[in-house]
Structure 1
Amino acid sequence: MHTRDLIQYLGELAENNNRAWFVMNKPRYDILRAEFLELVTGLIPQIVKFDPAVAGCNPKKALFRINRDMRFSKDKSPYKTTFSAAITASGLKKPSQGGGPAYYFHIDAQGTLLVAGGEYMPPAERLRMIRQHVVDDAAGFTKVLRNKRLKESYDDLQDEGKLVRPPKGFDADAPHIEYVKHKSFIVWKETSLKKKIPADLGKELAAGFKDAYPLVAWLREAK
């Protein structure tokens, strides 16, 4: 994949986020989108080596659309300034669709590569299941948090949007209560592709996802 060309394109899109510019540059978009699909297509078999559950994931469906959903947003920019994908065992990428834990990555207009694993802002019922799983399998969750590869790669779970008080139905002295307060159960890390582009981006992504696998596997047990 021509990563520098993608970053250049996304940067220009960020400065010209309108339909006229997008249509005029559609040939560039089509080429970059095809290369991104090729990257994801090659990435899935690498993930399958440590997580066979994602073998049935359709790479075309793993890619997110570049069009933004503007229905409930004050920002009326029509296009996202990222190329992104989520690889799941269910083949569904959105939490609202019941996609479950995912391996997610995106490249943005600043040349930032974000690599993540887990569940970001799952719907209410799914979030309740995960929180209950934290309490019911406290020992297993502790094992995930202490996993050497996960800690070295991601440090800890992200606590974006964490509640101040325990959620309804959970005692303040419940196991891992500070994690029970989380609204997402996900790890992520960011690196700058402007500083250095990996010789093999697919291999780099697969390594990051392998480090996140203990969390993904544990989340699948939350039912």
Structure 2
Amino acid sequence: MDFEKLYAFLKELQQNNSKEWMDANRKRYEEVRDSYISWLNTMDLKLAKIDPDYSSTTGKQAINRINNNLMYHPHKPIYKDHFGAGLDKENKQSDFYIHLGIRESFIAGGFYKPKPSILKSIRQGIDYNGEEFNKIRNKKSFKALFGELTDDGDSLKTAPKGYSQEHKHIELLRRKTFAIRVELTEKEVLSADFDDRVVEIYKEMLPFRNYLNKAASV
């Protein structure tokens, strides 16, 4: 995958964010998109080899549309400034998301503002065995790579229904998002060992996602 072409295309697209420009550069867009899909197919195979519970996800299934949803976000530009994709996709399972853009690039995983039924299950899992979750989060290599949980700014001010304000894991139980992320520089993405970097991040993230997946499936 020539990620230089991907970044170059996105930079020009954001300088000319219009349907007319996209139509005139449709072939170029399709070449970049198809190359990215091919790379995702390669990563899909690599990740399947290291995770026995991995859900195979083709590049076409993984990649997100480049068009913004103007029905819900009418003030956004027509096209996004990034290519996004989610591998290891399965219902009620946590995300493994790859975001390559001109303003930010990152890899994220977990649940971002999940629906109430999944959030309820995660809270039950933390109530039952929050110690295991904290053990995963506080592992030295995990902290070095991911830092703290993503702060969605939407945590409850009080205890969720059914839980005491004095619960030993109350800070976790108040959360509505259980996700982590690794920021990537353009230089990292362009490096020859970027595939290995993605695999490394996936491996370190796996116990975190496995914990959430188990809780969410209850």
Task: Confirm or deny a common fold (TM above 0.5).
Answer: yes
Match of 2:106, SS state, is strand
**Alpha-carbon spacing, 1:68–1:50, altered in 2? closer, same or farther (3 Å):** same
Distance 2:166 2:36 in 1: 46
Distance 1:57 1:193 in 2: 25
Equivalent in the alignment of 2:105: 113
Please tell me whether residue 155 in structure 1 is matched to residue 147 in structure 2: yes
Q: CA-to-partner distance for each residue in 1:73-99, whole Å, 9 max, x for gaps?
A: 242422211111111251xxxxxxx45
Between stretches 63-72 and 53-62, larger displacement belongs to 53-62
One-letter amino acid matched to 1:183: K
Match of 1:163, SS state, is coil
Equivalent in the alignment of 2:10: 10
Q: CA-to-partner distance for each residue in 1:166-205, whole Å, 9 max, x for gaps?
A: 2233221223211222221111011211477221322211
Q: Which runs of 5+ in 2 are unaligned?
A: none
Distance 1:76 1:117 in 2: 25
Q: Name the count of aligned residue pairs.
A: 215
Equivalent in the alignment of 2:209: 216
Per-residue deviation, 1:28: 1.2
Match of 2:97, SS state, is strand
Q: Is the 8 A contact 2:109 2:209 kept in 1?
A: yes
112, 135, 145: which one aligns with 1:143: 135
Superposition misfits of 4+ residues, deviation over 6 angstroms:
none
Per-residue deviation, 1:155: 1.5
- Trace 1:39-78 onto structure 2 (pairs within 5 A): 39-78=39-78
119, 124, 129: which one aligns with 1:127: 119
One-letter amino acid matched to 1:12: E
Distance 2:188 2:88 in 1: 30
Distance 1:76 1:103 in 2: 25
Q: Is the 8 A contact 1:85 1:104 kept in 2?
A: yes
Q: Which runs of 5+ in 1 are unaligned?
A: 91-97
TM-score, scaled relative to structure 1: 0.88
Q: CA-to-partner distance for each residue in 1:47-93, whole Å, 9 max, x for gaps?
A: 22332222432331111111221212242422211111111251xxx
Alpha carbon RMSD of aligned pairs, Å? 1.8
Equivalent in the alignment of 2:19: 19
Between stretches 192-201 and 3-12, larger displacement belongs to 192-201
Equivalent in the alignment of 2:165: 172
Q: Is the 8 A contact 1:122 1:183 kept in 2?
A: yes
TM-score, scaled relative to structure 2: 0.90
Between stretches 173-182 and 206-215, larger displacement belongs to 173-182
Equivalent in the alignment of 1:203: 196
Q: Is the 8 A contact 2:188 2:194 kept in 1?
A: no
Equivalent in the alignment of 1:189: 182
**Alpha-carbon spacing, 1:46–1:196, altered in 2? closer, same or farther (3 Å):** closer
